[in-house]
Amino acid sequence: MRRLLRPVFCAALFCLYPALVQAAAESEILGLFQRWQAAHGQRSGKALEGVYAPRLDYYGRAQTRERTLSAKQAFFARHPDFEQRIVAAPQIVPGDQEGRYEVRFVKQVRLDGRLRNYPGLLLAERAGPGDTWRFVGESDEITRYAVDPRYTPLARGRFAGTEADFAWVVAHAPNSAALCDEYEDCRCDLWSADARVPPKPLGSCTGAVLSVLGGLDDSGRERLQL
């Protein structure tokens, strides 16, 4: 009987191993994300030294960690009113390259007297097995939209009738902020870049896609269709 159980037990461990590895990676990356956010709260480029990889893609530009830290510190100096807080919990998912993870979240930024929401994106990677996770990429979807709108989840329109702005959907598990999968009844929140507009719960929304409709009335406003 023991001989029969041993292969079954080993097979179960083999099946569980990838999930355990991913859970451990997500836990470490979440800690890295919290350090990244704390450094922004402290307005400290030095606190970001252990967060970034030696080279990274910083808002579409490949550069060294030293150059990135210098740019951050200069940014903090130019904008004394800068504040950043996380308003939608981070979702950590495998990226499009093996061994890389994406961290997706919504940050609310105060800059030059204006408060805006941004769908943030960080890319985490290890230089090798056993190495520490570091961020190898930092950007947001609004910046990426300016480069190529086809590869972002954003919709852009004159939703207030005057200035064009951005909206997007964040899908999450039914009872938590975690990313949902195809086996769950996803819930969604509709976000606006205008921080004065609170996120709107949409209920069930598996595979949600936004489109912009115009000319429905004489108000000049455009509408969102889910």
| Residue with the two structure tokens 């890319």 | 123
CB 224, CB 167: distance < 8 Å? yes
Average pLDDT, the chain: 84
- 3.10.450.50, 3.40.630.30, 3.30.930.10, 3.40.50.1370: CATH of 1-146: 3.10.450.50
pLDDT digits (tens, 9 = 90+) for 24-71: 899 999 999 999 999 999 999 899 999 999 999 999 999 999 999 999
> What per-residue confidence (pLDDT) applies to 214?
56
> What per-residue confidence (pLDDT) applies to 68?
97
Residue 9 predicted with pLDDT over 60 = no
> What per-residue confidence (pLDDT) applies to 23?
84
Q: pLDDT: is 175 or 11 the higher one?
A: 175
* CA–CA separation, 60 and 143 (whole Å): 8
pTM score, two decimals? 0.83
Residue 155 predicted with pLDDT over 80 = yes
Query: Around 222, how many Cα atoms within 13 Å sit in the side-chain half-sphere?
Result: 18
Domain chopping of the chain, boundaries: 1-146, 153-226
* CA–CA separation, 162 and 219 (whole Å): 10
